[in-house]
Structure 1
């Protein structure tokens, strides 16, 4: 009789345990979202006041919405565009990394590491250096350059299937190729005195509201599409046979999501330059905090990416005052060791 009671209780206990775990995950996700939003707001107002001009919160709000204030106007014209671009580009690059990791089933996929950003950067430099009149078409050119780079990585990595190791090695080679071409074009266009140099070196010091105007609609569209395909990203994490059994056209879905990922990486590169490791580090942290469900992971990664890149840019502005260190350099210094740790800890690369 006792055995029968135990057998009857076991399913109930298991069900209760699953519900408790789901509740804990939900609470942790909500808490993580709240903390990240708070951190981003605090960092935003901190970044505004880092520099020779500083204003209080009340003075800032008054100068923005009530009456003219010379200090607030200067900050609005010089610092605000840079801060907004950091937020938009950070969100775009990280969500691009999330999508690439889902499509390629590769935890080390990152638009910078696998050459997408460098391909987009080369196309953007090409337009900036030799056809500046077409500046507003730079994001589209960068998108095309990113598509070409992704096509090369995908084709050159294919050998009876996609090996995560081959993708990384091929991506490194493609990245080096396009980076070399972009650096050559930068030198031909006049070295450090051109907009081409800003793209190659990921320097956002002189960005204006015109750059924000160019970047914003593409980022908004890309993030919307990423959220739209979040369910398909979850299905791609399954075996291809299982996904097909659930009615998913795996190949077409991979292509569409890849194009969205390239769009996000390309447009951010066109304005902010190539940023490596950002799309690798933040998604992994996001999975630890909110789980692997892309419907939650994508919006959290967007917030985390915005915070991380703005933090890197803020550190770069202050660490060597009066000189500046590019946010991309800060990310490389942090991301290099992180990449090695992931590489050593991944079973796929253990051999």
Structure 2
């Protein structure tokens, strides 16, 4: 078997194991046989509690990880930049600001928060890309501009959360990420993310085309700007909707695409997109389950676990600046 088969086999086995761990771990301990029987009969009170509390966070964690990882993969494709990630360059912070703003002004529009989060993500994305193009669209320039935009929106978020009481509960939900979510949140996230991921499967060949030089693409009659614009909107949509519902989780879109390329040893987006969605879902689900089992009396949010993992990884990538800041402004991967 080749690397691709081994890679998919590994992530599927790890995902099943993590799913079982997530289902069975927690304050309520139910044997797996009792859990299955209770789900079938619907008469076991413990199982019903697990169904209402544990199942939503598992589904949300998986779909959030899938959305963020594919979003990062798409951003790296259109920018040819291995450091591109919605959490790093401020897209997630912009989405969160618009989400909190609409909740402060009109909390009855909760189910419209994904739309306003998308607008916030687009605004942040335009700011980052605009300033980055002005100073030269290189990986480290993008990081500097992204950190600045992220800081601006983070400051605005802090002002909102500290001065407006009516959004304090939503802020708490975002800080915990998955622990206070319901089946309504699941329906909202899955409906957007499932459609977004489905579209990405059909545009994988566009991402492969963007690996070529722009001059080559223009000579072939490829509408490069339109393709980049559409893929950027899709990446922002996936990241923004996820942020609106579960909060900001950084580094997933940075870490997962790199791991996927290393494990599969390919740059073919027809393979990377489905694999990254599975690997991203696995990573965030593992982080959430680890966070609620690591300490007995408290939960560590999945976002904090990802910061601890992703921060050193970003430093490692920046340390390898000789390969990151190449002639094309992107990292060279082994095929």
In the alignment, is residue 238 of structure 1 matched against residue 212 of structure 2?
Answer: yes
In 2, are the aligned partners of 1:343 and 1:349 still within 8 Å (CA)? no
Separation (CA, whole Å) in 1 of partners of 2:207 and 2:90? 22
Q: Which residue of 2 aligns with 1:227?
A: 201
* Structure 1 CA distance for aligned equivalents of residues 185 and 200 of structure 2: 23
Please name the residue that 1:294 is paired with: 269
Shift of 1:158: 1.2
Higher relative contact order (CA 8 A, sep 6+): 2
1:189 CA displacement: 2.4
Question: How far has the Cα of 1:117 moved from its partner?
Answer: 0.5
Residue 236 of structure 2 is matched in structure 1 by 262
Farther-moved stretch of structure 1 (243-252 vs 27-36): 243-252
2:223 is aligned, of 239, 249, 264, to: 249
Which residue matches 1:20? Answer: none
Q: Is the 8 A contact 2:117 2:244 kept in 1?
A: yes
CA contact (8 A) 2:67 2:277 kept: yes
**1:332-343 residue pairs with structure 2 within 5 A?**
332-343=307-318
Give the equivalent residue in structure 1 for 2:12.
37
In 1, Cα distance between the equivalents of 2:40 and 2:202? 35
Q: How far apart are the structure 2 equivalents of 1:54 and 1:116?
A: 39
Specify the alignment match of 2:152 in structure 1: 177
> Which segment is superposed worse, 237-246 or 154-163?
154-163
Q: Which of residues 73, 83, 86 is equivalent to 1:98?
A: 73
Note the alpha carbon deviations across 1:17-40, whole angstroms, 9 max, x for none.
Answer: xxxxxxx6xx21112112211211
SS at match of 2:134: coil
Instruction: Give 3-state SS (helix, strand or coil) of 1:111's partner.
Output: coil
Is 1:322 equivalent to 2:297 in the alignment? Answer: yes
TM-fit CA distance, 1:322: 1.3
- Aligned in 2, Cα 1:192/1:321: closer, same or farther, shift over 3 Å? farther
Q: 1:139 is paired with a residue of what secondary structure?
A: helix
Which ranges in structure 1 are unaligned for 5 or more consecutive residues? 1-23
Of residues 209-218 and 53-62 in structure 1, the stretch that sits farther from structure 2 once superposed is 53-62
Shift of 1:159: 2.5
Deviation at 1:54, TM superposition (A): 1.7
CA–CA distance in structure 2, aligned partners of residues 326 and 67 of structure 1 = 30
53-62 vs 146-155, greater mean Cα deviation:
53-62
* Deviation of the 1:132 alpha carbon: 1.5
Contact 1:60 1:72 (C-alpha < 8 Å) held by counterparts: yes
8 Å CA contact retained: 1:202, 1:275: no
1:59 deviation in Å?
1.6
Residues 323 and 192 of structure 1: CA distance in aligned 2, closer, same or farther (over 3 Å)? farther
1:215 to 183, 189, 194: 189
In the alignment, the residues of structure 1 paired with residue 144 and residue 135 of structure 2 have an alpha-carbon distance, to the nearest angstrom, of 17
1:160, CA displacement in angstroms?
Answer: 7.4
Larger Rg: 1
TM-score by length of 2: 0.93
Q: Is the 8 A contact 2:86 2:253 kept in 1?
A: yes
Deviation, 1:70, is: 0.8
Give 1:52's aligned residue. 27
Q: Which residue in the other structure is 1:135 paired with?
A: 110
Which residue of 256, 271, 275 maps to 1:282? 256
Distance 1:151 1:192 in 2: 27
How many residue pairs get matched?
Answer: 325
Q: SS where residue 249 of structure 2 aligns?
A: coil
Which of 165, 175, 199 matches 1:190? 165
Does structure 1 retain, via aligned residues, the 8 Å contact 2:173–2:181? Answer: no
In the alignment, structure 2 segments of 5+ residues that lack a partner are 327-335
Matches of 1:171 and 1:343 in 2, distance apart? 15
